[in-house]
């Protein structure tokens, strides 16, 4: 079956996708179910209203002068995204990307997926926006993972103590702003993959 998608340069590509195995089809369906669920949250609906404006004061406190989601909206969204973020989950973003690359033999497709995975990882953000507290990079995937494991997903005590020390230098809105910024990047990459997977599943029914 032939699938059309837009690569990382917004160029429309056509690829040949072999018939899906039952196992792959199930993972793709679950990925869509989880991502659709997350896209229906208040965080996702209000995404365009958020504005991140971070700066460090002379006293070393990070402040946000923009508009961020409240705690409930952010926490609900993060928990809906858990099966897509956690590396141990079969529907984790990079795992789904890897399964598709193995299934579809196409240089254009491989390049696009590689670019999407780079975007999802937040690596590009380091070149655009760097915010550090001492030797700790706040605008990083590590910061997000530590935050999730300390406060949302695993409640890791050691990480919780570490993040509490860091949060002492962040106003509450600034902490949510950083997490929101990193999640918006992931949301963009997931949305792109979501549309591709929906196209593949739709074509597989034809």
Q: Which tens digits make up the pLDDT trace of 91-105?
A: 999 999 999 999 998
Q: Which tens digits make up the pLDDT trace of 29-41?
A: 999 999 999 999 9
Mean pLDDT of the chain: 89
Q: Would you tell me how many other CB atoms lie within 10 Å of the CB of residue 70?
A: 12
Q: Where are the alpha helices (DSSP H) in 13-90?
A: 22-39, 42-45, 71-80, 82-85
Query: pTM of the entire structure?
Result: 0.89
SS3 103: helix
Structural contact between residues 81 and 88, judged by C-beta atoms closer than 8 angstroms: no
Q: Which two tokens stand for residue 166?
A: 């860091």
- DSSP state, 152? I
- Expressed in percent and rounded to 5, the helix, strand and coil fractions of the chain are 60, 10, 25
The predicted pLDDT at position 19 comes to 93
């Amino acid at each position: 079956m032939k699938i059309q998608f837009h690569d990382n340069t917004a160029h429309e590509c056509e690829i040949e996708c072999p018939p899906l195995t039952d196992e792959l089809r199930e993972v793709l369906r679950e990925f869509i179910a989880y991502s659709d669920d997350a896209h229906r949250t208040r965080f996702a609906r209000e995404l365009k209203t958020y504005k991140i404006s971070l700066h460090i004061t002379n006293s070393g406190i990070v402040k946000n002068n923009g508009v961020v989601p409240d705690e409930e909206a952010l926490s609900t969204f993060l928990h809906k995204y858990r099966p897509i973020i956690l590396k141990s989950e079969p529907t984790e973003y990079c795992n789904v990307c890897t399964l598709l690359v193995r299934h579809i033999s196409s240089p254009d497709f491989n390049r696009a997926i590689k670019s999407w995975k780079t975007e999802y990882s937040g690596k590009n953000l380091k070149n655009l926006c760097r915010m550090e507290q001492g030797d700790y990079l706040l605008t990083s995937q590590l910061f997000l993972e530590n935050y999730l494991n300390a406060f949302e997903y695993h409640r890791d005590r050691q990480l919780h103590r570490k993040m509490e020390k860091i949060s002492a230098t962040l106003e509450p809105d600034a902490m949510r702003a950083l997490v929101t910024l990193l999640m918006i990047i992931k949301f963009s990459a997931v949305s792109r993959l979501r549309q591709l997977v929906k196209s593949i599943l739709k074509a597989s029914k034809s």
